[in-house]
Amino acid sequence: MDTIDTDTARAVTGMDIYGRRIASRLMLGTSLYPSPQMMTDAINASGAGIVTVSLRRESGEARAGQAFWELIRGLGLDILPNTAGCHSAREAVTTAQMAREIFGTDWVKLEVVRDAETLQPDVFGLVEAARTLTGEGFKVLPYTVEDLSVADRLVEAGCRVLMPWGAPIGSGLGLNNRYGLRQLRAHFPEVTLVVDAGLGLPSQAAAAMELGYDGVLLNTAVAKAGDPVAMARGFALAVEAGRLAFEADPMAPRDMAAPSTPMLGQAMLGDVGGPGELR
C-alpha cells in the first residue's frame, strides 16, 4: 500500500474480526488460479490479511493434499476455512469440525447452499448451523443474503460478523441490491459486515466500501482475470479508495445543479448607456 498519514491509515486499514484487528479490509479466496505460484503472487499483490480455503472443494482436486495446505500456511496470513459445497446444516457442521482440526482455527466461513444454480444460501440451514457451531466455540462468519430478518437471527445465534452477497457467486454482477445492503449497514452498525460474492470489478468493491462496509471478499474476479496479479492490486486500491471516500463523509446527491464557482465579484454586462456597454 502507498504511504499515507497515520490517521488515514487507521481509517483505511483494519477491520475487527471477533476482537482481532486485521490489517487489510480485503479478503481473498484461493481457488481457480491457473497455478499455485500465480495464486501466491496475486495474494501478495492484494495485501489481503485473510485467505479463505474450501476444505471440500480443494480436497476434491488433483492439486489437493498436504503440499497445498502447507503452501497456504506458508503465506503467513490468517486462514478462514469455509464450508463451500455443503447443502445441509449437518454437513456444514461436520466440515467445520474437520477444518478446525486441519488448520487449528476456530474461525469458519459458514456456507449452506440451497440452490445449485444461484448458490443462494439456505437461510434456515444457515441459522441452524450457526447456532450449533457458536455453541461449540466456533467464530462464525456466515455467507448470507441481504435480508434484515435473517441477519437478526444470525446475530442472535452468536455471529459477530455477517457476509451478505453482492450477487451470485462467480457472477461478476456487482451489487445487485444496494438498497438492501445499505439498510443492513444501517440496522447493524456494531456488526462487522463484509460483502462476499458476485464482485467482478474493482469499482464494485469501491462501491461496497462507500456504503460503509468493513471489507470485501472475492475470488473469481482475481483468479480468472487475464492478469490475476494486476487485478488483485486493482482491487486493493479500490478497497482503499472506497473506504477513504466513506470516511471523508461525502456530499449528498441532489436533483438540481449547484454552481461550484461563486457569483460574487463577477463582471455583469447590461444595456445601460447602449447595447453591450458595461453597467
Q: Where are the domains of the chain?
A: 15-247
Q: What is the pLDDT of residue 263?
A: 62
Catalytic residue among 109, 139, 153, 233: 109
82 is in an annotated binding site: no
pLDDT value at 259 more than 80: no
**Closest listed residue to residue 160, CA positions, set 118, 117, 120, 189:** 189
Q: Are strands 26-29 and 20-22 parallel, antiparallel or unpaired?
A: unpaired
pLDDT value at 62 more than 50: no
Average pLDDT value over all residues in the chain:
88
Higher pLDDT, 278 or 1: 278
Give the mean model confidence (pLDDT) for residues 215-230: 96
Higher pLDDT, 252 or 1: 252
Superfamily of segment(s) 15-247: Aldolase class I (3.20.20.70)
219 is in an annotated binding site: yes
The set of residues, in sequence order, having a beta carbon less than 8 Å from that of 146 and lying 6+ positions away, is: 164, 165, 177, 180, 181, 183, 184
Q: Rounded to whole angstroms, what are the CA distances from 131 to 143, 156, 203, 257?
A: 14, 9, 35, 51
Active site residue 109: yes
215 is in an annotated binding site: no
Angstrom distance (rounded) from CA 235 to CA 172: 13
Q: How big is the chain, counted in residues? A: 279
**Closest listed residue to residue 215, CA positions, set 52, 32, 41:** 52
Model-level pTM? 0.85
What is the maximum alpha-carbon separation in the chain? Answer: 92
197 is in an annotated binding site: yes
Give the mean model confidence (pLDDT) for residues 184-207: 96
